[in-house]
Chains A and B, each alone.
Chain A
């Protein structure tokens, strides 16, 4: 089931800019390896779900997948052939704001080779360029 918030404060939201780089959520925090977005995008709930299913079909019951993004942004869209105006349209889908550097998925409990293969399958479902990363230096 595509994800969405259970409760929201407001039904619709302004679009806002998306030209910044990630300053948080940009490192592997829970698992051993991660899939990192290299471009910014509004990642739809369907795309996240497609990635999760692709990973689960490959992994069967091995390892644990962490989904690091949540689609909490409502995106509205006017119907086809609708004239402009008459107020803001209904919510069409929910999206996660992804900035360049955002960690999308993490994985724990599998070998590096399996993690690479899993993320290759997830990356096929993502609308942005992604890269495979491990844990970073701890100080």
Chain B
């Protein structure tokens, strides 16, 4: 985490679906601030500004609530999305100290071209796109780089293989696969329309009907 930006926020006096919708229509993003045993506060962020920071991987901010001169350090805790799954409709912010240890998910970025990708039918996939870590707020990285240049086919990189910056503890299971190069089997890929004629069951097996037949036999 290099530079800590300031989020411009204002208090939301009226809460609820109707008022939250009006906020969004006005280019704002409804949010809630809680933590450290203090009362939760309903806030409103600038939608464009907030998304610009979130997309760059930033999680920790300073906020200045309007009509309050005190600045607070907050961390992004959760984002709620709409039904399309990409547009944020609400965010959770939590109060933090810079030296406090927190659990967070950090995005992985894959660097380089894997050696295994030179083989025919090689497919690079990354089952995990983020790692769950524990670190002091001041040490939280925006992202973690994973070097995949030496990645060979069928030799996955596990979470434990990822080099973490100092002061960061891995919480994700060490045996979680982070990146892997697989070679596609020829037979599995070459399925064509001709296959569906042969050996296709017309209807699936009905479980409940079988039970009834068995009961009849017993009776």
Q: Which residues of A contact B (CB under 8 A)?
A: 1-2, 4-11, 21-23, 26-27, 30-31, 36, 38, 49, 53, 56, 61-64, 91, 99-101, 103, 108-109, 133, 135-139
Contacts and interface: CB of A to CB of B under 8 A. Distances in A.
A99 B208 CA distance: 29
A1 B196 contact: yes
Interface string B64-86: 00000000000011110101111
Chain A contact residues: helix, strand, loop or mixed:
loop
How many residues of B sit at the interface, in one of the four size bands? 35 or more
A52 to B, nearest CB: 9
B204 A6 contact: yes
A101 B105 contact: no
Nearest to B84: A101
Contacts of B79: 137, 139
Given A8-B204, A8-B205, A139 B83 contact: no
Nearest to B76: A139
19 contacts: A1-B196, A1-B200, A7-B205, A8-B205, A10-B206, A10-B208, A23-B83, A26-B83, A26-B85, A61-B189, A64-B184, A99-B83, A133-B85, A135-B129, A137-B54, A137-B79, A137-B88, A139-B77, A139-B78
A138 B189 contact: no
A31 to B, nearest CB: 8
A64 B83 contact: no
A100 B83 contact: yes
Given A26-B85, A27-B86, A137-B79, A61 B121 contact: yes
Nearest to A59: B189
Nearest to B127: A30
B205 to A, nearest CB: 5
Given A7-B205, A7-B207, 5 more contacts: A1-B196, A64-B123, A103-B85, A133-B86, A139-B76
A138 B107 contact: yes
A39 B126 CA distance: 29
B208 A9 contact: yes
Nearest to A136: B86
A8 B200 CA distance: 16
Nearest to B51: A137
B123 A109 contact: yes
A83 B129 CA distance: 56
Contacts of B55: 137
Nearest to B104: A139
B189 A109 contact: no
Contacts of A103: 85
Contacts of B200: 1
